[in-house]
Structure 1
Amino acid sequence: MGSFSIALSGLQADTTSLNTIGNNLANLNTTAYKEQGTTFEDLFYQQIGTSGSNNPLQVGVGTRVSGTSTDFTQGTLLPTGQPSDMALSGNGFFVVNQNGVQQITRSGDFQLSQAGDLITTSGASVMGYPASNGVVNVNASLVPIQLPVGVTQAAQATQNISITANLNAAASVGTSFTTPVTIYDSLGKSHALSVTYTKTGSNQWDYSVAVPAGDATGVPSNNTGTLTFDSTGTLVSPTGSINNITFPTLTDGASDLSFNWNLASGGSPTLTQTTAPSTTGFSGQDGYASGNYSGFTVDQNGVVTAKFDNNHTQVVGQVAVATVTNTQGLVRVGHNSFETTAASGDAVVGVAGTGGRGTVEDSTLEQSNVDISTEFANLIVAQRSFEANSKTITTFDSVTQATLGMIR
C-alpha cells in the first residue's frame, strides 16, 4: 500500500535529521567544527481528479531530504598558549595536503613532526609560501611549511653598526665620550667594540673605533677620523657612512672584522651636537652568534618566523589561506577537512588579511559553532516527527487488518 511508503519516507527523512543532530552534538568539542542542518521537501503528487470548480485533487506520496546545509559562522576563538595552534579570524580556510590531495580546513590544531614539518592531527601537511633568505615569495607554488627543528643557525659576522648619540657642544677641548657596541666575528664570538669621541675644537670631534687589546693583532684601518658639525649641531662630515672599518688577524682564528658605520637613518644624521650632556640613545649591529632553534611565532598575515636561542629570528614561510565562492558546495572528507567540488568552485589561494581573507591568530583555536540548546530543541522536534510517522504506520496497519477482516 502507498500509505506505508508515505510514512516510511517520513521515517527515513527523520532518521537523517536525527543522525545530523546527533553528529552535531558528538562534535560539540571538535575544533572548528561547523554545525549542519537538514532540510526536507515533499515528493511528487498523484492527481486523482478535480473538484466541482475544476480544482485539482492531489494526494502526496511522502517526503525526502532535500539537502544538508552547513553553518560556516565563526566559532569562539580561545587562546591556548601553544604556538603551533592557529585560528582564522574571519573568512577563509587553511590549505593542507593529504597524500597529494589538496584540502582546506578551519581547524588549526597543528603539530610539529620530528622532522619539523607543520602537520594536522591526521598527518596532512600545512601548506604555505616558501621563504628564501628571510623573504617570502608569494608568487611561488605552495610548499609544506617546515621549521628548522634541531638546526643550529650559523653565526653571522657584523657588517654594519649604527649609533644614535649626542655630543656636548659645551664640553671643553680634550673631553672624551665613549659608546660601547657588542659586535660578532665570523665564528660567532663577541667583541666589546668601543667608539670614543674626543673634542678637538669648535664643532669638531675626533673618533676612534677599537676592540679590546688581544682580540686582533693586525693593524686596523679606517678606524679613526674627524667628525665635523655645523652651527646648528648637524653632522656635515663625514656623511652617509664610514665604510670598511677593519680589524685584521683575529686571535680566535675568525675572518678579519670588516664593517660599515652607518651615520644616517632615513636621510637624517644619527650623531648630533648640542649643549645637552653627551649621551648614547641607541647602538646596534647586524651580527649574531650561532644559535639553536627554540620555537616559532606566526603573525596576523600568517608569516612563520623561527626563533633561535641567540635572540635571532628567521622567516621560514607564510601560511596560505584559501577562499571558495560557494562554501555550501564543499564536501566533507573527515579530519575537519573539506574538498572543493564543481558546486563550490576552485579554491582561491592567497595570504591572510588580503582579498577578503581573515587574519591568523597565533596560539589560538576556533571552537565548534554548535549551539547545544538549539540542537536539543531540534532533537525534540525530530523525535516527535519520527514518533508521528511511526504512529502513521501503526494506523495504516490497523486499517489493513480491518480490511483483511472484512474479507474473512
Structure 2
Amino acid sequence: MRQRRVPTFPTERFLRRFASFSEIGQTEDGAIHRPFGSDADLAARAWLMRLAKEVGMSVSVDAVGNIWGVLPGKADTGAIVIGSHHDSVPNGGRFDGPLGVLMAIEVIQSLAESGYENEHPLAFVSFTAEEPNPFDLSTLGSRSVAGRLTQEKLLAAADWNGRPLTEAVDAAGGDLHAFATVRKTADDIAAFLELHIEQGRRLETRGIPIGVVTGICGIYREWIRVTGEANHAGTTRQADRHDALLASSEMLLAVERLLTAWDDDELIATIGRLNVIPNAMNIIPGECEWGLEIRGGDMDKVYRFRDACFEAFDEITARRGVEYGRQPLLDQGAQPMAADVIDVLHDALAGLAIPYLDLASMAGHDATHIASFTRAGMLFVPSIGGKSHCKEEESRIEDIEHAFYVLASAAIALDSKLTSADEVTHEETV
C-alpha cells in the first residue's frame, strides 16, 4: 500500500502518545474539558512543546500563543506546515483537533527517521483557541496568522468573568503587544495540510476511509426579534392574542420544513439560541429573540435558502399579527481549498489505492483562514456514528493509518513540486 520513500506508520507509538495526551483535561466520565485559557490548555501546551523538542524540532510560541515546531530544510524557503488545534469544547471528545496536531508531529518525525531529506522546512502548528471559548474568539490563532483580527480588538477582549485576553495569552507564552509579528504570508507557509475528523456520517455511511475537503462551508447568521403583544395569560382571549413565542415557533418549524424540501447534504440551518420576553408563566410572550444560522458550501444556495426562509416568515408574522426585525451578524463566505493541493492528495490516494470521497466541510476549521493567503488542503477521517463534541467521539485506527500515509505522501510530493518561484508567484485563494 505504501509508496516508495513513505515511512511505516508507527501505530503503537502514535496510540501511546494519543492516550497520554487524552488524559489532559479528562473529566470523571471520560470527556475532554480543555477550553482555551484553562489549566488543561496550559498543560496540553507544555506536553506538545516537550514532545516536539524531544523529536528534534525547534519550538516557538508566537504572540497569540500558537505553537510552532520546525524541522529545517535544505533550502531557506516557505515551510510545509501540518497541524490543527489542541483545545476542546466544554466536555468534548479526544479526537477533534488533537488528532491533527499529533499526526503532524508523527508525520514529520517519521519522515526524518526514515532518512528523508526535506528541501522545505517541515513544521507543525497547534493553533490557539480554535473552539468557541469564554473570550468569544474562536479560531483566534489562525485568524491572527491570516490577518483577520486586529490588535485593538484583542487588547480590549475579556472573558465572561472579566478576565482580560492579554492575561490568558501571556499565560500561554504569547504577548499581544507584539501582535504585528503573528501575521504570515505565502512566503512563510508554502502549503498547509490539516487532518480532522469529519464530525458527520457522510464517510461512514458510504464506507469510505478518507475524505478530501474541497472547501469549507460559508456561514450566515442573523438575529431575529419577533414583537407581539404581552398581555395577561388568563384574561386574554385566544382570538385577541399576538403571541411572539408561538409565531417564532412556527417560523422555526418553517426552517425545518424548507430544509426537508431542499434535501441537500451541503446545506444546513440551525436555530441554536432563543430568548423569551418577559418569560413569565402568567404573561403572553411579547417578544421572542433567536439566532438563525445557515451553512453551505455554495453561498448562492445559502442566500437563496435565506430568502426562502424570510418569505415564509413574512407570511407567518402577517397572519399572526406580529412583526419581526432582522440584524445580520455574520456573512462568512465559503473558502475553497487549493486546487493544486487537492490534486496532490488525489494522486497520493490513487498511489496508495485508498478509496476517498471529495466533500465540503460543514464545520469551520483553522484551514479556512490559512487558505485565504496560501495553498491549503484538508483530509477527513470518518467519525464513528457521526459523533463529535461529546465524549463518545471516536475514529478507527485503520482510518487514521490511511491518513498518515496520505499526509506523508503529500508532504513529500509538495516538497518536491513547490519551487521558490511557485511560492512567490502562485495565485492566492480568496
TM-score strictly above 0.5:
no
Higher strand share: 1
Q: Normalised by the shorter chain, which TM-score bucket?
A: under 0.3
Higher helix share: 2
TM normalised by structure 2 equals: 0.21
